[in-house]
Amino acid sequence: MIYVRCLCLSLSLFVLLGSARPDCVLSKHDLSQTNRVFATRDGLSYHLFRKDVVPNSAQVHSICNYNDIVISTCTANGFHPVLKTAGCKKPTTPIVEEVNDASCPYKMYRVGYRFENVAFLEIYRSCYNPDKVQAHFTIYMAQTSTSAVERPMHFNTDRIISGAAAASFQNTQIYSRYNALLGRQTYFAAGTNMFDRGHLTPSLDFAFKASRGQTNKYINLIPQFKTINRGNWKTIENWVRRQLSERHFDALKVCTGVLGVLELYSSTYRADIPMFLINNNKNPIPKWIYKIVSHISGRKFVFLTYNNAHATTRPTGQAVSNVCRELSCRSLGLKLRNEGTAGYTFCCEPHDFIARNLTRLTGIC
């Protein structure tokens, strides 16, 4: 009787596994070479497709323009009809446009594709202050992607800031600025690359090369210490992707931004000096970088990183408690380095963090 039950169970598993329908995976060539834009449709609304895998039975709209939209369905035998990735004679190029958004007290720009009589397919949006050359926060939707396509390396001002303002992100200019602000200093050695143009919306959260390239905009950049960008901040970004790849969540809204201005002690002037990379308090090096990750179910997570690679001790007391009600990061499976060069990082109670620092983002992030 035991053998019969085992046989029945084995047959059931065989039938179940045998009937599993495979998803459709877009090739690296499609992701990097296509001149079309892909979207899903929910009723009358189109949404930018961000992944490299299409679930079985799901539809994808391959869009060139209003008169050239091809709908393909993922089947057990691949896309039907065959997914159209080429043949768009007049491809739509991404644009940046200013929009009204009460969450942003400065200028809100959205980046994406405008298709006449179809939709605006948004890649991300950025709350930006052009007068101060400062990105305050960005918002985008993250979905799982294992795409290996390269990110284009060109950075674009979109005529929102000047070329001179963009040049203030260069390490040679930052070194000169350190000396101008601090006098004789030992923080920053000549000829070293201490800073990255840190992305608030990261390129790796998009599958298509065209979308990845659109993250290389100055409205999406902050002066971020290189070792922090590639240290604990990278760990946080990878944690978000892992939540999606391991299917803990189907999609996540991600709001990433900055708080405060970093101050460094000047032994010449015997004072803490706010670090602005341009005269007249422009292009500040942020003191804190935060990431709010939320799911439609109501789950939220907040990460806060101290953007100071010169720090030798972890911030404590009111320096932290005024901004963040600290929670354990270990419970989230995060392995963070407790050192300034990697970026001292805290996990915060989400609702308290938003209410304390970002009331405009209540109900949004």
Q: How many CB atoms lie within 10 A of CB 269?
A: 11
Q: In angstroms, rounded to a whole number, what is the distance separating the alpha carbons of residues 268 and 212?
A: 43
92 — phi, psi (to 5°)? -80, 130
Give the pairing type, strands 195-199 and 221-225: antiparallel
Nearest CA to 60 out of 30, 93, 94 is that of 30
Is residue 136 part of the annotated active site? The answer reads: no
Among candidate residues 47, 136, 199, 295, the one labeled active-site is 199
Consult the annotation and say whether 67 binds a ligand: no
What would the two tokens of residue 23 be?
A: 């998803």
Q: In angstroms, rounded to a whole number, what is the distance separating the alpha carbons of residues 251 and 142?
A: 6
| 97: helix, strand or coil | strand
Q: Are 47 and 19 in contact (CB under 8 A)?
A: no
Residue 172 — left, alpha, or beta (φ > 0 → left; ψ -120 to 50 → alpha)?
alpha
What would the two tokens of residue 73 be?
A: 């369905």
Which residues are known catalytic residues? 199
Name the binding residues.
Answer: 229
Name the binding residues for Mg(2+).
Answer: 229
